[in-house]
């Protein structure tokens, strides 16, 4: 059964200058890394609605990180900011001199989050890793990640102690979010508020029957930089779990892949070029380049820039319709416009006939995937 | 611009010398152009302490020598350099000036160098890279270029030197300008460049290409183009195209597939060896721009070179015919480089069609 349009509140937080708006602009507005030098500090909250495929809208809250704003989010705007959050992306600047203070702020944010949106997923990005010598990156990241994990665990344990009702099943009558209600104090009415839906409200089971989840927030850490593909790896993971109907996409990609004897198929969202889904044959899976998915995003995104510069068309416009490459007896591949909201990359064994028939079959498979373009149309087969 | 200054053919490999003040960007340039270092990682480069000699095997074998900035080879009390060993087999001297810094001293040293070279090695091309111009406005860039040019010319004419082979380039490692500048420098070292250009001009006419470039794939230096006017935008898109192909190749083409993979590929329903399933043993690629259905194509020529061309709008359906014409030109190019390679071999007399004489 296909699910309807999903809206997700995504908080983007971290100290001022840590790189939040830069990342957002690169991923969703097609900025080049060097263009981000022109960004000014974000004042209060910069809200944007990003349509991702036909049936997911990200309400991206880019929260300006200057101290006064941060205090305000934690006090006056607390409920308004931290309620109904699907995902929190917290950004640490690896170059920051005052690590203790950064962590203290982080702890406050996590406390507020678990208080109001205890099922929110948390992604921590240790950012600007390009400023660390390549040889030391892994160590620097691991040690910082360790500290963040520990702090997170401590914070959650502490909140749980202070507010034991959060874990007790008794309060669960109204579903996880209702239970929290509007929170302490009435936050000012905000126009965006009507749009918020918590993902859990769409789960199959009625909320009351669902087991009360652990308070322990699920957390993932990434080392990122706007200067390489690491950014795409982190953001693809962030959106991955938010995409509706993922299992249908995966099944259909797999049938397509086997039908055309491909080695690998990647499905990209057309504007961000984030990998929505991927499939590899057992042979394709032996590819030693584990970072190839984010690399392909990065390569194609910068290729899009090149084309845009050359044609003089807007950066967000469609830039190329078809790209094919045959490397002799080695492999063949093509990247082509697929559905309205997606591009598809197919990598396969060499051979003219195989290549041509794969192209035809991919074109023929478009209708199976039409549901990616909107919530209403059901896939015609399978 | 074929044969602007005659290249005396000497034995060995043409040599590019990189000189200039400390921190002017010499090592960054050679790392970015010849070793694919991402530009932002040059921040971690350490100061060069001794002459760094790189040998590059490409369509033409050449060497790049990176000099430490603090050494002045013409004015060194500690020991003297063997000038012939440095300048004897030269291709070009590239002098790097940091445009974001005070450049008076750099210009003075450059003047001194030119005067010395004019005495002993007057055929050496001197290529001045006015470098780190990223972040400078276009007006300011041109002001600097004008200022540097005047300071050098005045000094040279005061010393009675006229028509020294000095050229200027505005460069940055953060964009295509550095590759463009190197392209110009290298092109002057290619014997019979005019003939190469004529081949590409011909190809453009028969295939209705707007622009065609012959690239050295490893460095993204273009070693020839057709005779239509220079166009930075075309160069940029073609050069980025080469980049994309290199990246695709690395990720999907640089590892060995398991044997079962090959068995499967050659099994039914194909029932043919891989080699007979493919149409072309070299890399070939085509891409269509969305705006006007304008295609761009790439074809590998040999291990080092690739032909990249921008086609006219709506000519994608003529690809089979285009491919045939391209095949012919590619054969011609391969012959061309076999001949020039032999010519540059030690002992072969310049200008003589060496045939199969030299070998290596
Ligand atoms: N070296 C490096 N610089 C980065 C990176 N990401 C962002 N920056 C730079 O950091 C500066 C600040 O970035 P912003 O995105 O405006 O920071 P912000 O987190 O939105 O700041 P506030 O809006 O004040 O909270 C910009 O000059 C960016 O170019 C990175 O990965 N590496
Ligand atoms: N902005 C800018 N900086 C550059 C450029 N090229 C090099 N640099 C920087 O200049 C500094 C010195 O470069 P280096 O190559 O070590 O200089 P060398 O002593 O001449 O070899 C490094 O920090 C480089 O990152 C450029 O094109 N633009
Ligand atoms: Mg900001």
Helices (H) and strands (E) in chain A, counts: 10, 11
Of A313, A328, A352, the CB nearest to B291: A313
Beta-bridge partner residues of B66 = B18, B52
Residue B25 CB–ligand 2 contact under 6 Å: yes
Q: Is pLDDT above 90 for B313? A: no
Cβ contacts (< 8 Å) between B282 and chain A: which residues?
328
pLDDT of residue B120: 80
Higher-confidence residue: B178 or B70? B178
Minimal C-alpha gap between A353 and chain B (Å): 7
Minimal C-alpha gap between A322 and chain B (Å): 5
Q: Which H, E and C letters describe A55-82, residue by residue?
A: CEEEEEEEECCCHHHHHHHHCCCHHHHH
Minimal C-alpha gap between B234 and chain A (Å): 7
Give, in order, the Cα–Cα distances in Å from B220 to each of A201, B193, B297: 54, 18, 16
DSSP A233-287: HHHHHHHHTTSTTHHHHHHHHHHHHHHTT-SEEEEEETTT--EEEEEE-TTGGG-
Q: Taking a contact as any Cβ pair under 8 Å apart, which residues of chain A between 184 and 243 contact chain B?
A: 227-228
CA-CA-CA-CA torsion sign (B136, B140, B143, B147): negative
Cβ contacts (< 8 Å) between B291 and chain A: which residues?
311, 313, 319
Q: Which of A17-31, A81-95, B70-84, B160-174 has the lowest mean pLDDT?
A: B70-84
Give the global pTM.
0.83
Burial bucket for residue B85 (CB in 10 Å: 0-12, 13-18, 19+):
exposed
Give, in order, the Cα–Cα distances in Å from A233 to each of A229, A239, A240, B138: 7, 10, 10, 36
Are the C-beta atoms of B45 and B28 separated by less than 8 Å?
yes
* Nearest-Cα residue of chain A relative to residue B135: A34
Residue B42 CB–ligand 2 contact under 6 Å: yes
Residue B132 CB–ligand 2 contact under 6 Å: yes
Ligand 3 (single-atom ion) residues, CB below 5 Å: A 21, 42
pLDDT of residue B242: 95
d(CA B153, ligand 2 centre) in Å = 26
Residue A356 has a CB neighbour count (10 Å cut-off) of 10
The residue nearest atom 10 of ligand 2, judged by CA position, is: B25
The residues, any chain, with a CB within 8 Å of residue A79's CB and separated by 6 or more, are A116, A182, A183, A184, A185, A187
Are the C-beta atoms of A294 and A230 separated by less than 8 Å?
yes
Nearest to A349 by CA among B326, B104, B178, B267: B267
Q: Which of A325, A345, A357 to mutate to test the interface with B (most CBs of B within 10 A)?
A: A325
The C-alpha atoms of residue B85 and residue A205 are separated, in whole angstroms, by 82
Each residue's pLDDT tens digit in chain A (382 positions)? 566 678 899 999 999 999 999 999 999 999 999 889 999 999 999 999 999 988 899 999 999 999 999 999 999 999 999 999 999 999 999 999 899 999 999 999 999 998 899 889 999 999 999 999 989 999 999 999 999 999 998 888 888 777 766 554 433 333 333 333 333 333 333 333 333 344 333 334 333 433 333 445 578 999 999 999 999 999 999 999 888 888 999 999 999 999 999 999 999 999 999 999 999 999 999 999 999 999 999 999 999 999 999 998 888 888 999 999 999 889 999 999 999 999 999 999 999 999 999 999 999 999 988 888 876 544 444 4
Tell if the CB–CB gap between B247 and A299 is shorter than 8 Å: yes
Of A300, A318, A331, the CB nearest to B253: A331
Q: Which residues line ligand 1 (CB under 6 A)?
A: A 14, 16-22, 36-37, 39, 41-42, 64-66, 127-128, 130-131, 225-227
Q: Hey, is A52 helix, strand or coil? A: strand
Query: What is the distance, to the nearest Å, from the Cα of residue A218 to the centroid of all Cα atoms in its chain?
Result: 15
A319 interfaces chain B, CB cutoff of 8 Å: yes
Confidence at B14, pLDDT banded by 50, 70, 90? confident
Cα dihedral angle (A122, A126, A127, A129), rounded to 10 degrees?
-150
pLDDT of residue B192: 86
pLDDT of residue A184: 36
Q: Predicted ipTM? A: 0.81
Of B41, B44, B277, the CB nearest to A353: B277
Are the C-beta atoms of B112 and B74 separated by less than 8 Å?
yes
Q: Please tell me the number of the ligand nearest to residue A95's CA.
A: 1
pLDDT of residue A221: 95
Beta strands B92-98 and B15-20 are: parallel
Residue A209 has a CB neighbour count (10 Å cut-off) of 9
């Amino acid at each position: 059964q296909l699910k309807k349009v999903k809206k997700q509140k995504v908080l983007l937080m971290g100290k001022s200058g840590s790189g939040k708006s830069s990342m957002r602009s690169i991923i969703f507005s097609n900025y080049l890394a060097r263009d981000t030098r022109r960004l000014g500090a974000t004042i209060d909250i910069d809200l944007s609605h990003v349509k991702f495929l036909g049936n997911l809208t990200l309400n991206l809250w880019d929260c300006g990180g200057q101290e006064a704003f941060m205090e305000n989010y934690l006090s006056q705007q607390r409920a308004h900011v931290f309620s109904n959050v699907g995902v929190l992306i917290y950004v640490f600047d690896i170059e920051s001199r005052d690590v203790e203070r950064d962590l203290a702020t982080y702890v406050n944010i996590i406390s507020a989050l678990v208080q109001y949106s205890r099922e929110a997923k948390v992604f921590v990005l240790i950012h600007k890793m390009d400023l660390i010598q390549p040889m030391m990156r892994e160590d620097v990241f691991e040690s910082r990640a360790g500290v963040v994990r520990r702090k997170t665990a401590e914070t959650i344990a502490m909140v749980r102690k202070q507010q034991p009702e959060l874990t007790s099943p008794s309060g669960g009558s109204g579903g996880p979010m209702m239970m929290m209600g509007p929170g302490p104090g009435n936050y000012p009415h905000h126009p965006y508020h009507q749009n918020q839906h918590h993902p859990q409200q769409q789960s199959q089971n009625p909320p009351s029957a669902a087991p009360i989840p652990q308070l322990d927030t699920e957390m993932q850490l990434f080392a990122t930089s706007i200067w390489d593909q690491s950014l795409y790896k982190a953001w693809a993971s962030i959106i991955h779990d938010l995409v509706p109907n993922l299992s249908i996409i995966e099944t259909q990609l797999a049938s397509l892949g086997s039908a055309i004897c491909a080695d690998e198929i990647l499905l990209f969202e057309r504007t961000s070029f984030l990998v929505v889904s991927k499939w590899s044959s057992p042979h394709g899976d032996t590819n030693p380049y584990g970072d190839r998915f984010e690399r392909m995003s990065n390569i194609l995104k910068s290729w899009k820039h090149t084309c845009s510069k050359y044609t003089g068309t807007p950066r967000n416009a469609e830039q190329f319709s078809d790209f094919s490459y045959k490397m002799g007896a080695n492999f063949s591949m093509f990247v082509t416009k697929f559905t309205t909201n997606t591009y598809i990359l197919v990598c396969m064994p060499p051979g003219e006939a195989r290549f041509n028939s794969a192209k035809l079959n991919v074109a023929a498979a478009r209708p199976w995937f039409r549901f990616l373009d909107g919530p209403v149309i059901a896939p015609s087969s399978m | 611009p074929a044969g602007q200054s005659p290249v005396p053919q000497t034995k060995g490999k043409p040599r590019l010398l990189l000189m200039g003040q400390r921190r002017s960007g010499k090592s960054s340039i050679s790392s970015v152009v010849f070793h694919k270092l991402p530009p932002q990682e040059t921040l971690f480069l350490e100061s060069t302490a001794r002459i760094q000699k790189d040998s590059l095997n490409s369509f033409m074998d050449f060497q790049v020598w990176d000099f430490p900035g603090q050494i002045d080879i013409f004015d060194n009390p500690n020991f003297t350099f063997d000038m012939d060993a440095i300048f004897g087999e030269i291709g070009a001297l590239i002098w790097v000036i940091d445009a974001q810094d005070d450049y008076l001293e750099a210009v003075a040293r450059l003047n001194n160098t030119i005067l010395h070279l004019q005495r002993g090695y007057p055929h050496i091309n001197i290529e001045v890279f006015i470098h780190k111009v990223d972040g400078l406005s276009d007006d300011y860039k041109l002001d600097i270029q004008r200022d540097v040019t005047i300071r050098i010319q005045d000094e040279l004419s005061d010393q009675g030197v006229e028509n020294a082979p000095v050229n200027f380039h505005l460069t940055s490692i953060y964009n295509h300008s550095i590759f463009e500048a190197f392209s110009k420098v290298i092109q002057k070292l290619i014997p019979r460049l005019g003939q190469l250009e004529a081949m590409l001009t011909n190809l453009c006419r028969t295939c209705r290409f707007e622009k065609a470039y012959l690239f050295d794939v490893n460095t993204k230096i273009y070693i020839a183009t057709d005779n239509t006017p220079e166009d930075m935008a075309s160069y940029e898109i073609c050069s980025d195209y080469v980049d994309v192909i290199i990246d695709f190749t690395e990720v999907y083409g640089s590892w060995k597939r398991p044997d079962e993979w090959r068995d499967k590929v050659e099994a039914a329903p194909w029932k043919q060896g891989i080699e007979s399933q493919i149409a072309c043993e070299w890399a070939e690629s085509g891409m269509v721009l969305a705006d006007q259905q304008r295609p761009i194509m790439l074809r590998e020529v040999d291990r080092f070179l690739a032909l990249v061309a921008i086609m006219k709008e709506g000519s994608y359906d003529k690809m089979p015919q285009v491919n045939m014409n391209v095949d012919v030109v590619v054969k011609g190019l391969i012959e061309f480089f076999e001949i020039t390679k032999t010519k540059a071999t030690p002992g072969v007399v310049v200008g003589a069609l060496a045939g199969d004489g030299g070998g290596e």
